Amino acid sequence: MAGGVAPGGGPRAGTGSGATCPSSSCTAGHLLLGIVRPDGTVAALHPPLPVSAAFADRAAAPGLRPPEARFRFAGPCVESACRQWAEGRCTLGDEVADRGRAERAERAGSDASAPPPCAIRPTCRWWAQGGADACRICPGVVHTTTVASA
């Protein structure tokens, strides 16, 4: 599942919610949450690492896949400045939670697995909207799945 953020991916004035987007861009000041495995799932880093300007520049070097296709980042939720925002909610967070509920329903009768450990859960936009259903699907979300065109 791919997500997205507003162009530039950084914080915008006036968003002030304090919520964290768990599918953000490779921008200095954001957090490196994990590394995308070959199977498309994310191996979380514990603890996540702050993204430096040098790392962001190296990760975006010409000839490489976009950093958002290789790593998972978290940054401030920019709310209405993001293309995923509609009707006061993160539509991607809602989609992730919907998939989590569907997966849980398919496994009816079995114990629902606990959500994976997460360093941003206290401020995570998806957790706030979808709870454990969003968390269980979160490791399968990759921001960018295609090569950026030049």
Residue 7 pLDDT: 31
In this prediction the pTM is: 0.82
Residue 32 pLDDT: 98
Q: Sign of dihedral through CA atoms 97, 6, 2, 113?
A: negative
Q: Mean pLDDT in each 10-residue stretch from start to end of the chain (150 residues)?
A: 37 60 97 95 95 98 95 96 96 95 81 81 96 92 70
Considering only CA atoms, give the Rg of the chain: 15
Residue 110 pLDDT: 60
Give, in order, the Cα–Cα distances in Å from 69 to each of 16, 109, 113, 127: 28, 35, 27, 22
pLDDT digits 0-9 by tens, 96-126:
999 999 988 888 756 567 788 899 999 999 9
The SS3 assignment for 30 reads coil
Neighbour tally for 110: CB within 10 Å: 8
CB burial of residue 119 (10 Å; 0-12, 13-18, 19+): middle
Residue 8 pLDDT: 34
